[in-house]
A and B are shown apart, each in its own frame.
Chain A
Amino acid sequence: MKKALRYLVLSALGAVFLIPFLWMLSTSLTPAAEVMAKHRSWIPTHPQWSNYPEALTVLPFQIFLKNTLIVTVLAIIGQVASASLVAFGFARMRFRFRDALFLLVISTMMIPPQVTLIPTFVLFAKLRWIDTLRPLIVPAFFGGGAFFIFLLRQFFLSLPSELEDAAKIDGCGPFGIFRNVALPLSKPALATVAVFSFVHHWNDFMGPLIYTQSLETKTLALGLNSFRSLHGTEYHLMMAAAVTVLIPVLVIFFIAQRYFVSGIIMSGIKG
């Protein structure tokens, strides 16, 4: 009895979380005329699949998709590669000022990004990188961010040192140990970083908003926003476009669920 009640509460709350998504999907398949109807059924009587091609051709969504893929893929590579290098240095090498520098890494998390926003914009303007994708990609290669460095350092610290010693005897240098011992053992942690990096760059709005201007450099997030300002009342098309942008995130989410959970837990431990 008590068990049934618990399931009832969980299901009711689950519905609250799920219903907006279902409403979105339902609207995206509804004919324009029916969207405005006072009473409409949740399941469209004649699913209007043509809403999708119509929504995605109003603006050049294939360009937005290409830009988003370029930014997301390159930024993931940059963050995973550079954060793992830096984290390995902090976790496994001994050198002067190491711990003080690591404290500096952590303290950069405290600075609101707004403080560095304007000078960084000026820097990219001086480099003539405004209205290109470079400001969204290049910084990822410079350490990958304090959060990911921290996460990977904790993971590298937990690796057994025996394997490292064995590799040293086999004549491996520090970089060899990093490549042949640390990286293969850290696939779950690296996947966690990649998954979080994907979601961040796929959803990022402020970066593209500031650094890109023309239609040719816009990303999906910005494209959706332009769609809103141009066709803000055509909700059936807006929802079709929004569903399309969400699908890759949902696919990654369901494939990589355990990495989200382990990443959150690893980041929560420091509290």
Chain B
Amino acid sequence: MKRQASGMARKEAVAGWLFISPWIAGFLIFAAGPIIASLALSFSYWDAITPPQFAGMANYRRLFSDPLLRRSLFNTVYYAVFAVPLGMCTALGLALLLNQKLRGMGIFRTLFYLPAVTSGVATYLLWMWLFNPQLGLINRFLRHFTSNPPLWLSSPDWAMPALIIMSLWGTGGAMLIFLAGLQNIPEQLYEAATIDGANNWKQFLHVTLPMLSPTIFFNLVMAVIGSFQVFSAAFVMTNGGPSNATLLYVLYLFQNAFMYFRLGYASAMAWLLFVIVLILTLFQFRTSKRWVHYG
């Protein structure tokens, strides 16, 4: 009997390894292998044509002296500092509005979430048209209030705000996660707060926010990681311009790799990005103990 059981367990183990074998192969080919190769490349000069040459720390030293890298890092931080908090507030505000017991909420939920699904080149073209300085809808509207509205994507000062505004429109994914979090807060907590005489604002501060803090934390971590990886919008809409105002980090990485063929330097840039994102994520996990309440 015992031998039979251990035979079954061995069969199950073999089956288990077979089931996960596609992932193991994928991990080795598309994750572990490239990670090692990328690390090695970051210590070499390579233009994709002549054989790679050992470069020591040169690529990493260059990170600290490259003015464009500094610029792209500044731009990315600028983007993140505005897009993340504004996006979180928009998503939470919309979720609070949707979390009411009114008829027709499904329609509004669909409307608010729709732009998150259609994100892609088609929507970037749409926003280029909306932001068009002369004929775009936004300036047609603003001209009712001012005679010279911003030039948006053609202006070094307004191109980045334009990208940030567009990102707010596509915040539906975070909104749905907030909505799920709100619907998990037990009704009795609000009833108890009402009996204690708490008004709506106090209920929001002392019931909603603490109960929602794990969801806020999850969305925050994802939003920070995402904000450091924005690429397609800047590539299609501005290609980093005007005068490098929207040269985001991953866009500059892409240019180094596939336009200037500095594959070693681009690899070093990728590792710097990894370290930055890792530090930011760890920082959020460390500080989260102070404000995230797990029920």
Contact = CB atoms under 8 A, between A and B. Distances in A.
Interface of A: 3, 6-7, 9-10, 13-14, 17-21, 23-24, 27, 35-36, 82, 85-86, 88-90, 93-96, 98, 101, 104-105, 108, 110-123, 139, 141-144, 149, 173-175, 178, 199, 202-206, 209-210, 221-222, 224-225, 228, 232, 235, 238-239, 241-243, 245-246, 249-250, 253-254, 257, 260-261, 264-265, 267-271
B33 interface: yes
Contact of B41 (A112, A118, A174, A204): A118
Contacts of A206: 231-232, 254
18 contacts: A10-B108, A17-B111, A23-B126, A90-B19, A108-B31, A111-B274, A116-B34, A118-B267, A123-B34, A143-B27, A203-B119, A203-B121, A204-B120, A209-B235, A228-B125, A242-B122, A245-B121, A271-B177
Contact of B257 (A10, A23, A117, A203): A117
A213 to B, nearest CB: 11
Contacts of B235: 205, 209
Contact of A119 (B24, B37, B122, B278): B37
Interface of B: 9, 11-20, 22-27, 29-31, 33-35, 37-38, 41, 48, 94, 97, 100, 102, 104, 107-115, 117-123, 125-130, 132, 135, 137, 169, 173, 176-177, 180-181, 214-215, 217-219, 225, 228-229, 231-232, 235-236, 250, 253-254, 257-258, 263, 266-267, 269-271, 273-274, 277-278, 281
B177 A95 contact: no
B63 to A, nearest CB: 14
Contacts of A141: 22
Contacts of B225: 112
B281 A110 contact: yes
Contact of A271 (B102, B117, B217): B217
B34 A93 contact: no
Among B114, B130, B218, B231, chain A packs the most CB atoms within 10 A around the CB of: B114
B271 A174 contact: no
Nearest to B13: A95
Chain A binding site: helix, strand, loop or mixed by DSSP?
A: helix
A134 to B, nearest CB: 13
Given A13-B108, A209-B235, 16 more contacts: A3-B102, A7-B102, A9-B97, A10-B108, A19-B137, A35-B135, A82-B23, A89-B15, A112-B225, A112-B273, A118-B41, A118-B267, A174-B19, A203-B119, A242-B126, A271-B177
Contacts of B253: 114
Contacts of A36: 135
B125 A268 contact: no
B26 A143 contact: yes
Contacts of B130: 20, 23
B22 A143 contact: yes
Among B9, B12, B20, B219, chain A packs the most CB atoms within 10 A around the CB of: B20
A112 B83 CA distance: 19
B19 A235 contact: no
A115 B129 contact: no
B13 A210 contact: no
B29 A142 contact: yes
A115 B35 contact: yes
